[in-house]
């Protein structure tokens, strides 16, 4: 049998990991990438999020691809959120049980590791190949190259791992009976930074994701290996006093930071330069269906771009790769339409669920985390989890520290939410939360789940 | 003041009517159209619906543009639906009050009238200008021409009246923070025809829209001026016994028609040829926002493509033109961003409403119209309208025979639906519908509307 050649569009994190998986299956793999080889050039300040939060699903997918151990040294564990209030006081909110953490990693460094590995495993990588046109019915791709020339390929199998603005998805949109939804959220973001102290140390707790929640806007910071922090400012584009449209000059920047993020401000000597230099980026959510047609497939952000508020975009894309690889193992490569069909059918409810959770989580991150009642709610949930470790797992933990299907986590989360709403409706809850009948609360979820 | 030049993309029904309006305001207008001048060539069998149903909103917009009288001779009134059951029996269901009708008109003839008028009024029309690229920020459009050359224009004002697959909207999608949703419905359609009788007469009632409702599928027919009928067959693409995927050959076509549309079958001598020759077309619904940026605007299907089941796509697009013209009259042409901003803000809730109604109406057309309980429901509503002509206007009439805002009609329709659901829940309704307390029913709507 002729060995199929798999052509991937996009050599980002998802495309690189998928290439490793497919090479390990003995398949021929070529990756076409629009940008130049970023392993040789500095691509910081591109306006893309430069720190990723790697969690359980991502780690499992790396492990199965045999690349986990190479990644570990580049990560910095964050065991919880450190909340900064308006007075500069902070408190710590663990993400899960002791030792459960999410891991900060630089996108650039991470992509280099994966791409090197893909290449080492024998994948061919073609940089500066920009997709100009895809004919889905013929699986023909026309690229424009750096020298202005163009190149055509006819692919046997074509996979779009080319992100939220996928060229393959664009072709699907105009060439198939294709349902597609793209939605921008009201907020944009800008990257800023907190350097090391003069002594070369972390300027804040290095084992936390720092959040300055301010209701309609927020600042977050993730630690880097070089002991600096990468900060991301999330503001509404317009319609509010504190919004990108109302920041016209350096004075406005300073005023926002001094007023709302004063402790961070004191750690940000390059704030004004960063603010000016770094672009204001938008946040898109996309959902679409089908993901496959005629031996082509969308995967990762190309199939389901989500907003970053659950820290799952990359983890979900890695899980995509792992699931797809499992299906290749199970069904073989004699019918890609079968494999891709199984993939989209099984996976779509899960990516719908995580897209929705990511959208909803902005409110939790920017607002609730600072609310005393929300903190009690979290404490009750933590207690429930402590008492009934198998029966009550908080939604965040199901999503972040397990491989439970996202759609299942979503459904259980909805049940828990209903029960917790009822628990929290007790006007004396702030006083008596410690002495609740926890068994009875758990029972409510069990009953609700049964009907 | 320099006279602004308005550049329209698309010389279809909406673009042509808009050009007439704008010329009457004394503005310079150029229309760029992808296709060749269809006034000189036969474009039948293109797979686009070739009969339109013109109703009140459309007529009013034509009237305001001063073109109504030229259109009247090309139309054929349809006073109601004529339902064909499986035995070949038919019954008539009026659309509204006596003399209220919707008007069948050939798309091609109609477009010719409007385009001739636009040209006569001084609009320049450039055919065979296919949009290759739009730069929204610069309002630059690159066209490819029939001879293979390309042409650039820099527009002062640019309006996309270029339909459901709008090139300007595509540019918005990739260049703006643009919310966009496209959804294909499960059904496709194919056009067929019923010629005149050997004596040269209409083969069926010429003053009705004929429907063969069969639950998951249906056939409809609209009369033409030449006394033929244009039929449209709506079938699911797949997943049902009667679906396009299950029609493989002439035998299958005959079997479906003999079994389900036998009376029509006997009037369709060219059925097999028509079925083979005419494409199976898909049905798309699109919603998007914003419609305007930087002196550019989407209008008609480009802004809101709907499925055809309420017969409002064209009427809604014409109403768009009329409303936009009213805003130009009110605010002048010194700030197009002001005019376009007012337009999108005011109009968007209405087009959302009619898109939704059109989607919902498939069930009414293909299924309910044949249901005896539904017919009683319609009779009760007709009686209510008769007794309280101002207070209870059926939803269909508000949409089809008035200029009430679609969103308002939608909201009132929802109230009526609630009340009618309650009325119809009476198990004896088929016997006692004639003796209901109609005043009390009306009162329920009034009360519900007040809360």
pLDDT of B200-235, one tens digit each? Answer: 999 999 999 999 999 999 999 999 999 999 999 999
Residues B245 and B322 reside in one and the same domain: no
Residues B293 and B166 reside in one and the same domain: yes
Last residue of a domain, one of A361, A385, A412: A361
Beta bridge partners of B285: B183
| CA–CA min distance A184, chain B (Å) | 6
Q: Do B182 and A178 touch (CB under 8 A)?
A: yes
Shortest CA distance from B166: residue in chain A: A174
**Higher-confidence position of B47 and B17:** B17
Torsion angles phi and psi, residue A198, rounded to 5: -55, -30
pLDDT of B446:
78
Chain B residues whose CB is inside 8 A of the A178 CB are 182, 184
Mutate to test the interface with B, among A130, A132, A167, A181 (most CBs of B within 10 A): A181
> For residue B90, is it within any domain?
no
Instruction: Give the tens place of pLDDT for each residue, A130-159.
Output: 999 999 999 999 999 999 999 999 999 999
Give the count of alpha carbons within 13 A of A197, CB side only.
7
Chain B residues whose CB is inside 8 A of the A237 CB are 177
| CA–CA min distance A449, chain B (Å) | 31
pLDDT of A444:
86
| CA–CA min distance B130, chain A (Å) | 16
Which residue, chain included where needed, has tokens 């003399």? B99
Give me A353's structure tokens. 């669920």
pLDDT of B45:
47
Residues B297, B139 contacting (CB under 8 angstroms) = no
Cα of first residue to Cα of last residue in chain A, in angstroms, is: 51
Q: Give chain A's contact residues with B (Cβ, < 8 Å).
A: 165, 170, 173-174, 177-184, 237, 282
- The b-or-e profile of A303-334 (16+ CB within 10 A means b, else e) is bbbbbbbbbbbbbbbbbbbbbbbebbeeeebe
pLDDT of B44:
53
Q: Tell me the CA distances in angstroms from B373 to A223, B369, B431, one per residue in order.
A: 67, 9, 11
ipTM entry: 0.86
Question: Rounded to a whole number, what is the largest CA-CA distance in chain B?
Answer: 73
Cα distance between residue B365 and residue B83, in whole Å? 10
Residues A341 and A399 reside in one and the same domain: no
Size of interface A-B (CB pairs under 8 A): 32
Q: Tell me the CA distances in angstroms from B31 to B156, B302, B390, one per residue in order.
A: 13, 15, 42
Torsion angles phi and psi, residue A173, rounded to 5: -60, -40
Cα distance between residue B399 and residue B393, in whole Å? 10
Q: Do A182 and B178 touch (CB under 8 A)?
A: yes
- The b-or-e profile of B256-292 (16+ CB within 10 A means b, else e) is bbeebbebbbebbeebbebbeebeeebbbbbbbbbbb
Residues B117 and B23 reside in one and the same domain: yes
Q: How many domains does chain B have?
A: 3
Chain B residues whose CB is inside 8 A of the A307 CB are none
Q: Tell me the CA distances in angstroms from A233 to A210, A213, B228, one per residue in order.
A: 12, 10, 65
Helix (H, G, I), strand (E, B) or coil at B126: strand
Give me A123's structure tokens. 């994948």
Question: Rounded to a whole number, what is the largest CA-CA distance in chain A?
Answer: 73
pLDDT of B42:
61
> For residue A394, is it within any domain?
yes
Q: Give chain B's contact residues with A (Cβ, < 8 Å).
A: 165, 170, 173-174, 177-184, 237, 282
> For residue B84, is it within any domain?
no
Would the pLDDT of B43 be above 80? no
pLDDT of B47:
43
Name which of B448, B405, B387, B375 is nearest B93 in CA terms: B375
> For residue B30, is it within any domain?
yes
Q: Do A182 and B173 touch (CB under 8 A)?
A: yes
Q: Do A180 and B184 touch (CB under 8 A)?
A: no
pLDDT of A447:
77
Residues A32 and A113 reside in one and the same domain: yes
Beta bridge partners of B220: B211, B232
> For residue B408, is it within any domain?
yes
| CA–CA min distance A73, chain B (Å) | 38
pLDDT of B113:
97
Mutate to test the interface with A, among B165, B169, B182 (most CBs of A within 10 A): B182
pLDDT of A47:
43
| CA–CA min distance B304, chain A (Å) | 14
User: To the nearest whole percent, how much of chain B has pLDDT over 70?
Assistant: 96
Mean pLDDT of B314-337: 97
Cα distance between residue B128 and residue B391, in whole Å? 51
* DSSP secondary structure code for residue B325 in this structure: H
Residues B167 and B24 reside in one and the same domain: yes
Residues B71 and B36 reside in one and the same domain: yes
Rounded (5°) CA angle B69-B73-B74: 115
> Which residues, in sequence order, are CB contacts of A31 under 8 Å at separation 6+?
A7, A8, A9, A10, A11, A15, A16, A19, A118, A123, A124, A125, A126
Q: Do B180 and A184 touch (CB under 8 A)?
A: no
Residues B229 and B252 reside in one and the same domain: yes
Would the pLDDT of B36 be above 90? yes
Beta bridge partners of B221: B210, B231
Pairing relationship of beta strands B218-223 and B229-236 according to DSSP bridges:
antiparallel
Which residue, chain included where needed, has tokens 């933590």? A382
Closest CB to B180 among A177, A182, A237: A182
Over chain A (451 residues), the average pLDDT of each successive run of 10 is: 76 98 97 91 55 96 98 97 94 91 95 97 97 97 96 96 97 96 95 96 97 95 95 96 97 97 97 96 96 98 97 98 98 95 98 96 80 88 91 94 97 94 91 89 79 49
Chain A residues whose CB is inside 8 A of the B165 CB are 174
Residues A352 and A382 reside in one and the same domain: no
Q: Do A179 and B180 touch (CB under 8 A)?
A: no
Closest CB to A182 among B179, B183, B282: B179
Would the pLDDT of B48 be above 50? no
Would the pLDDT of B1 be above 50? no
Pairing relationship of beta strands A102-106 and A76-78 according to DSSP bridges:
antiparallel
Cα distance between residue A330 and residue B193, in whole Å? 50
| CA–CA min distance A181, chain B (Å) | 4
Residues B148 and B205 reside in one and the same domain: no
* DSSP secondary structure code for residue A162 in this structure: -
Q: Do A180 and B181 touch (CB under 8 A)?
A: yes
Mean pLDDT of B328-335: 95
Chain B residues whose CB is inside 8 A of the A244 CB are none
Where is average pLDDT lowest: B77-91, B330-344, B357-371?
B357-371
pLDDT of A1:
35
Residues A356 and A387 reside in one and the same domain: no
> Which residues, in sequence order, are CB contacts of B331 under 8 Å at separation 6+?
B338, B339, B342
Mean pLDDT of B275-294: 96
Chain A residues whose CB is inside 8 A of the B173 CB are 182
Q: Tell me the CA distances in angstroms from A420 to A129, A212, A287, A394, A414, one per residue in order.
A: 52, 25, 30, 11, 10
Last residue of a domain, one of A334, A361, A388: A361
Instruction: Give the tens place of pLDDT for each residue, A293-303.
Output: 999 999 999 99
Structural domain that includes position B403: 371-450
pLDDT of B335:
93
Residues A67, A114 contacting (CB under 8 angstroms) = yes
> For residue B195, is it within any domain?
yes
Mutate to test the interface with B, among A180, A238, A286 (most CBs of B within 10 A): A180
Cα distance between residue B14 and residue B12, in whole Å? 6
Q: Do B182 and A179 touch (CB under 8 A)?
A: yes
Burial of B7 from C-beta contacts in 10 A (0-12 / 13-18 / 19+): buried
Helices (H), B25-86: 56-64, 68-71
> For residue A429, is it within any domain?
yes
Last residue of a domain, one of A324, A343, A361: A361
Mean pLDDT of B274-279: 95
> For residue A211, is it within any domain?
no
Shortest CA distance from B167: residue in chain A: A174
Which residue, chain included where needed, has tokens 């890695």? A318
* CB neighbourhood size of B184 (10 A): 18
* CB neighbourhood size of A152 (10 A): 11
Q: Do A184 and B179 touch (CB under 8 A)?
A: yes
Cα distance between residue B274 and residue B255, in whole Å? 16
For B158-183, the DSSP string reads EEE---TT-HHHHHHHHHS--EEEEE
Residues A290 and A382 reside in one and the same domain: no
Chain A residues whose CB is inside 8 A of the B177 CB are 184, 237, 282
Mutate to test the interface with A, among B174, B180, B282, B307 (most CBs of A within 10 A): B180
Q: Looking at beta carbons, which pairs linking A225-229 to residues 24 or more positions away fall under 8 Å?
A: A225/A74, A225/A76, A225/A106, A225/A109, A226/A196, A227/A196, A227/A200, A227/A201, A227/A202, A228/A193, A228/A194, A228/A195, A228/A196, A229/A193, A229/A194, A229/A202, A229/A203, A229/A204
> Which residues, in sequence order, are CB contacts of B19 under 8 Å at separation 6+?
B8, B11, B29, B31, B118, B121, B123
């Amino acid at each position: 049998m002729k060995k199929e050649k798999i052509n991937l569009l996009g050599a980002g994190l998802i495309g690189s990991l998928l290439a490793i998986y497919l090479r390990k299956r003995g398949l021929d793999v070529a990756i076409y990438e629009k940008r130049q080889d970023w392993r040789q050039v500095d691509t910081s300040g591109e306006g893309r999020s430069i720190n990723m939060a790697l969690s359980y699903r991502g780690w499992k997918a790396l492990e199965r691809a045999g690349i986990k151990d190479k990644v570990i040294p580049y990560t910095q564990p964050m065991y919880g959120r450190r909340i900064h209030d308006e007075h500069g006081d902070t408190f710590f909110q663990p993400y899960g049980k002791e030792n459960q953490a999410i891991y900060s990693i630089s996108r650039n460094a991470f992509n280099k590791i994966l791409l090197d590995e893909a290449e080492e495993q024998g994948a061919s990588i073609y940089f500066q190949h920009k997709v100009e046109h895809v004919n889905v019915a013929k699986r023909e791709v026309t690229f424009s190259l750096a020298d202005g020339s163009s190149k055509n390929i006819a692919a046997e199998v074509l996979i779009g791992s080319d992100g939220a603005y996928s060229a393959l998805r664009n072709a699907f949109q105009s060439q198939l009976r294709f349902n597609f939804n793209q939605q921008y959220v009201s907020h944009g973001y800008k990257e800023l930074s907190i350097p090391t102290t003069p002594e070369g140390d972390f300027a804040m707790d290095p084992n936390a994701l720092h959040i300055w929640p301010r209701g309609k806007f927020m600042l977050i910071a993730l630690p880097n290996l070089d002991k600096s922090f990468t900060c991301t400012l999330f503001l509404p584009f317009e319609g509010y006093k504190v919004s990108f449209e109302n920041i016209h000059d350096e004075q406005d920047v300073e005023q926002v930071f001094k007023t709302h993020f004063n402790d961070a401000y004191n750690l940000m000597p390059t704030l004004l330069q960063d603010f000016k230099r770094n672009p204001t980026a938008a946040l898109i959510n996309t959902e679409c269906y089908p993901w496959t047609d005629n031996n082509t497939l969308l995967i990762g952000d190309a199939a389901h771009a989500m907003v970053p508020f659950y820290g799952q975009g990359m983890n979900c894309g890695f899980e995509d790769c792992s699931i797809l690889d499992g299906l290749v193992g199970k069904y073989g490569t004699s019918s890609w339409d079968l494999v891709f069909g199984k993939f989209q059918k099984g996976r779509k409810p899960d990516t719908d669920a995580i897209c929705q959770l990511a959208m909803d989580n902005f409110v939790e991150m920017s607002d609730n985390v600072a609310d005393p009642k929300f903190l009690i709610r979290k404490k009750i949930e933590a207690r429930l989890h402590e008492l009934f470790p198998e029966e009550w797992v908080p939604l965040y933990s199901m999503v972040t520290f397990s491989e439970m299907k996202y759609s299942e986590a979503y459904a259980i989360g909805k049940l828990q939410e209903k029960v917790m709403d009822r628990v929290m409706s007790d006007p004396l809850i702030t006083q008596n939360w410690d002495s609740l009948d926890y068994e009875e609360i758990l029972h409510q979820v069990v009953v609700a789940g049964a009907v």
